Chain A
Amino acid sequence: MSIALLLLLALGLGLAGWLAARAKAWGFRRSGSVRLAALPAYHGWYLALWIVIPMVSFIVMWGAIAPGLITQSVLSDPAAAQLPAFGLQRQAMLSEARAVATGNAAAVFNPQAAALVEPYRAAIARYNTIGLLVTLLLGFAAGIYAWLRLKPDFAARTRVERAVMGILLIASLVAILTTLGIFASLVFETVRFFGMVGPLDFLFGLFWGPDPMSNPQTPDASRYGAIPLFWGTIYIGAIIAMIVAIPLGLMSAIYLTQYAPTGVRTWIKPALEILAGVPTVVYGYFAALTVAPAIRDIAVALGASNASSESALAAGLVMGVMIIPFVSSMADDSIAAVPAAMRDGSLALGATRSETIRRVLVPAALPGIVAGVMLAVSRAIGETMIVVMAASTAANLTANPLEAMTTVTVQIVAMLTGEGSFDHPATLSAFALGFVLFLVTLMLNFIALRVVKRFREAYE
């Protein structure tokens, strides 16, 4: 019995409870002379909530712990005693036997795993039965309890509404839980990493070259210097991309808000929105397939012999294009927030439109524009697919945009998609890099939102 079926069962029982309780409440209304304290439908909801909430919470919990229980009971089987004690082989045999037992595979490859198929099948059947029985028991017990409380003078609506408020509160707490989850998982793995490689070596080292195959017990701290990664990230995301995105985005916003006739605007704005909606993997493919070779060819033609086909320039340029709509819409918002009186005053004094824009509107909107640029930078340095596909994995501390460079996000992907184990500092370094990235983007956003808020208040 899969989790989805159990959930369907819970919903079905809930529906049955809803109908039954509503019928019972209608019965009160017909038979008694007493006025019902709540509409019959609320009696229905009361019973349905009592049935569904315990069942669903149990099913979710069961879905998380049952696989572990099943594995444990298989391991306590005598057939499991002959398994290799540790390591990949043991895991491989277990998952092979599981695949056969659940019907995902036709036959085992490894004869030793064959002995485990039957224990697996038995354990799965046993725990499925237990899960089903407990779920049903919970549902019926809670349902009967709620059913007995239904009386004509029972204030079902207030109870239901209290439950609804609780559900709403829990839904909004998911955001806090997610933030905490991100923070906890990053901090936990980062601390483990710093137990192996010193934080100073990591934050200020100048050479990056972790070797996932090396002995995890004796990590070479000098290979974990992240400065080249930070430099590559800043160079691609905050310098090259912004050189493209800031002027183009700002000028687009100015043209669209100040000059463009309505007809043009109705066509250009959706085009910019499409540009913002293109998935980053498409930009990455475009950068790797079209832009990077073109830049290398141009550079070679101009006499730069060491131009790389994974140059920082290609990734940065395409990333800049990706950011244009973002900068443009942020600038658009901040220019629109400048009071019309300032613009009108400047025009009335005889300034041309471009003079008004350059001397009045842009300076007045500057805090908002700067905040928008900060948000754009935070998005650019967290961007992954463009750099994974178009930039290199070789860390390189250089200012030459034609050379290969790598970024924090590229290294996170490289370290975690390899075959390395979770105890190796090379794998854990990805979490430390992620933590740095998380903190930096958080800081940029925090400052930017502050600036925007203060700026809005200044003109309101």
Chain B
Amino acid sequence: MNKAADHSGISSARSEAFAQRLHKRYAAERRFKALGLSAVLFSVAVLIFLLGTMLWNGVGGFQRVEVAVPVDLAAAGMAVDPTVLEQQNALPNLETQGLPQVVEAAAERVLGADAGEAIDPQAWRVVAEEIIANPQLARSSHVFYLPASPELAAGYEGEGSPEMRALAARLTTRGVLSKTFDVGFLSRSDATSAQHAGVWGALKGSFYTMIVTLLLAFPIGVLAAVYLEEYAPRNRWTDIIEVSINNLAAVPSIIFGLLGLAVFLTIFPNLRSAPLIGGMTLALMTMPVIVISGRNAIKAVPPSIRDGALAIGASPVQVVFHHVLPLALPGILTGTIIGMARALGETAPLLMIGMRAFISAPPDGFTAPASVLPVQIFLWSDEVDRGFVERTSAAIVVLLLFLLAMNGLAIYLRNRFEKKW
């Protein structure tokens, strides 16, 4: 290189070429750092975009297009007996009494002859349920907010047939048609029409499934972690157990679905799509997660605790169950909650064991056919109706809120109870 520079000391080391090289190297340094930052920012941007899209669409899913229709049952000549309303079969009774016709006639007075197409055919149920909840409403005229038909709802959004769009515009200017917050989304179950669909059935199914998963995976996982960390002799069997737990943690979830299909559904063929089978399948998937996090939590308890307890005469079982396990519990619980959150969002194995049927009634037990929230999202995502697109996003928002709550709880537990030794 430059021979003169070599002999003339430091000042001349800052030659033109040196400065240029240094400049280049610093530029490369800045570029590299910017690259790293942009990689991080990209991930964050995708996350924000993803959540934003779901929220944006989901807001529409929590609402529905409703028509304000005054219904006067007394004037329509329909006498409603309050004692009938208290009975179990009040709804079918009202139907045979002619409530659907009364509601349709009332709707026709407001909407003209188009009422049949503008009001959802099941709209009378809304009236019936409100009357059952409050029999006073049957005595005088009361304005009910009835769900619009899917076609009219599409018209309100500026889609669908031109007639419906025109009708929607007319009704909106009259102040009869509006999009309002739909509390029922959280209390209804799956339906063929997006106007009637809700997530309660799926939430209940998820709840039952998670109970089964927790009851199976938590005790088995914690006990296995205790055994492997505290008592297991170093031999071939222990190695096999450890290897299989590590492998299970990495097996794709759909394989667990195949196991559930081939084993659990062969043993219990009548329990297709029951939360019990779903919970058992997810428990096998969650158990390794709990074992691994449980072992780490138990490992973190310092040996001095064990030595102290042993020294004052506790037996090995007492040492673990009286001292080590209570101290490791916050860590174990954190891992359990994270594993449960993963199970709550899991879809594929449940599709395998038949939890994909259309189920319009919330399950009333562990053996009743049920759906779960992620599967409900998957099923709705297949619907082409615009209303279902919004409902799907709204269901996703509900699911994400639950996951956020669970993860928040895990972080809280970790920060609040975890000891640094």
User: A residues bordering B, Cβ < 8 Å?
Assistant: 2, 4, 64, 67, 95, 98, 104, 157, 160-161, 164-165, 167-169, 171-176, 178-179, 181-182, 185-186, 188-189, 247-252, 254-256, 258-260, 268, 271-275, 277-286, 288-290, 321, 324-325, 352-355, 357-358, 375, 378-379, 381-385, 388-389, 409, 412-413, 416-417, 430-431, 434, 437-438, 441-442, 445-446, 449
Contacts and interface: CB of A to CB of B under 8 A. Distances in A.
A89 B334 CA distance: 49
Nearest to B364: A104
Contacts of A104: 368
B224 A382 contact: no
B399 A352 contact: no
A284 B346 CA distance: 12
B415 to A, nearest CB: 12
Nearest to B216: A174
B251 A438 contact: yes
A354 B29 contact: yes
B219 A171 contact: yes
Interface stretch (B133-141, B170-178, B257-265): B257-265
Nearest to A67: B270
B246 interface: yes
Contacts of A249: 39
Nearest to B226: A168
Nearest to B284: A178
Given A171-B223, A172-B223, A325 B252 contact: no
B258 A178 contact: no
Given A161-B316, A281-B377, A445-B247, 15 more contacts: A95-B270, A157-B315, A171-B221, A171-B227, A178-B259, A259-B33, A271-B44, A278-B400, A279-B345, A281-B347, A282-B50, A352-B28, A352-B29, A378-B250, A384-B252
Given A175-B245, A178-B284, A353 B29 contact: yes
A389 B375 CA distance: 12
B400 A282 contact: yes
Nearest to A247: B39
B44 to A, nearest CB: 5
Contact of B223 (A64, A168, A178, A189): A168
A384 B43 contact: no
Nearest to B241: A172
A98, A171, A188: residue with the most chain B Cβ atoms closer than 10 Å: A171
A297 to B, nearest CB: 16
Contacts of A157: 315
B255 A438 contact: yes
B403 interface: yes
A252 B50 contact: no
Could you say which of A274, A281, A416 has the most chain B C-beta atoms within 10 Å of its C-beta? A281
15 contacts: A172-B223, A186-B255, A186-B262, A251-B36, A255-B37, A281-B378, A284-B378, A321-B46, A353-B29, A353-B33, A354-B31, A382-B254, A384-B348, A385-B347, A438-B252
A185 B263 contact: yes
A409 B348 contact: yes
B203 interface: no
A142 to B, nearest CB: 21
B17 interface: no
A189 B400 contact: no
Contact of B252 (A164, A279, A288, A383): A383
Contacts of A449: 246
Contacts of A384: 252-254, 347-348
Contacts of A275: 43, 46-47
Interface in B209-231: 219-221, 223-224, 226-228, 231
Contacts of B240: 176
B401 to A, nearest CB: 12
B227 A168 contact: yes
B132 interface: no
A417 B400 contact: no
A185 B262 contact: yes
A189 B29 CA distance: 56
B223 A252 contact: no
Contacts of A288: 381
A279 B374 contact: yes
Interface string B330-348: 0000000000011011111
Contacts of B226: 168
Interface in B305-351: 315-317, 321, 341-342, 344-348, 351
Nearest to B369: A104
Nearest to B347: A281
Contacts of B268: 64, 67
Contacts of B344: 279
A170 to B, nearest CB: 8
B53 interface: yes
B400 A437 contact: no
Contacts of B79: none
Nearest to A351: B25
B245 A289 contact: no
Nearest 8 CB-CB pairs, A to B?
A382-B252, A279-B345, A255-B36, A185-B262, A251-B39, A171-B223, A354-B32, A384-B348
Given A171-B220, A172-B241, A389 B378 contact: yes
B46 A289 contact: no
B33 A255 contact: yes
A161 B244 contact: no
A379 B249 CA distance: 11
Given A169-B227, A175-B248, A382-B252, A431 B258 contact: yes
A413 B245 contact: no
A37 B218 CA distance: 33
Contacts of A164: 317, 321
Contacts of A169: 227
A248 B43 contact: yes
B40 interface: yes
Given A185-B262, A255-B36, A279-B345, A285 B392 contact: yes
Contacts of A355: 25, 28-29
Contact of B232 (A172, A248, A255, A437): A172
Contacts of A389: 378, 381
A328 to B, nearest CB: 8
Contacts of B367: 2
A160 B316 CA distance: 12
Contact of A352 (B25, B47, B228, B261): B25
Contacts of A2: 367
B251 A189 contact: no
B400 to A, nearest CB: 7
B255 A168 contact: no
B229 to A, nearest CB: 10
A445 B250 contact: yes
A331 B194 CA distance: 45
B198 to A, nearest CB: 18
A168 B44 CA distance: 43
A268 B346 CA distance: 25
Contacts of B153: none
Contact of B253 (A274, A278, A357, A382): A382
B299 to A, nearest CB: 16
Q: Give the most central of A283, A285, A441: most B CB within 10 Å.
A: A285
